[in-house]
Amino acid sequence: MTSDGDTGDLSGLIDRLAPLHARKRGGLLPLLHAVQEEIGFVPDAAVPLIAEALNISRAEVHGVVTFYHDFRRTPAGRHVVKLCRAESCQARGGAAIEKAMQRRLGVAMGATRGDGAVSLEPVYCLGLCAIGPNALVDGRPVARIDAGAIERIAAGVGA
């Protein structure tokens, strides 16, 4: 699958998944999750196919894909760092950590580095508020992030 999802496979994928969700009320979210589970992201090219399959507008599908942070519109990097942006982590210096993390990893929040090594994504509370600022690195929680932790994370993802 290419990064823009420009492939006949995409149409086949939607044809296969949509009937599982089309008749349910609120079928859009589970269908989007199913697409992302299968190919790792929801390509822009999937939006009109999903809209047609569920008989809803493209704007509605696009709105949901862009509203929920869980949906990726491009393929993820080989490593994924999710940094908590919720209130408790912000109160513990999260904004400065985010700036330092972006600088050290060489990627903006919400983006994947040009070489595909790492994606930096926001997450909103990991349930570890008392020991923030926190992140998930390839699904593994990392608490009390400071400059040393950023170095370790960067080394771990080859940045």
CA separation for the pair 123, 130 (Å, rounded): 16
Among 31, 86, 142, 145, indicate the residue that binds ligand FES (CB under 6 A): 86
Residue whose CB is less far from ligand FES, 93 or 106: 93
Q: Which of residues 96-135 bind ligand FES (CB under 6 A)?
A: 125-126, 128-129, 132, 134
Q: How far is the CB of 82 from ligand FES (least distance, A)?
A: 11
Is 89 among the annotated ligand-binding positions?
Answer: yes
Q: Which of residues 12-71 bind ligand FES (CB under 6 A)?
A: none
Q: How far is the CB of 156 from ligand FES (least distance, A)?
A: 20
| 135 Cβ contact list (under 8 Å, min separation 6) | 81, 82, 83, 84, 101, 123, 126, 141, 142, 145, 153
Strands 118-123, 79-84: pairing is: parallel
Is 39 among the annotated ligand-binding positions?
Answer: no
Is 129 among the annotated ligand-binding positions?
Answer: yes
| 99 Cβ contact list (under 8 Å, min separation 6) | none
H or E element that contains 112: strand 111-112
* Contacts to ligand FES by CB under 6 A: 84, 86-89, 125-126, 128-129, 132, 134
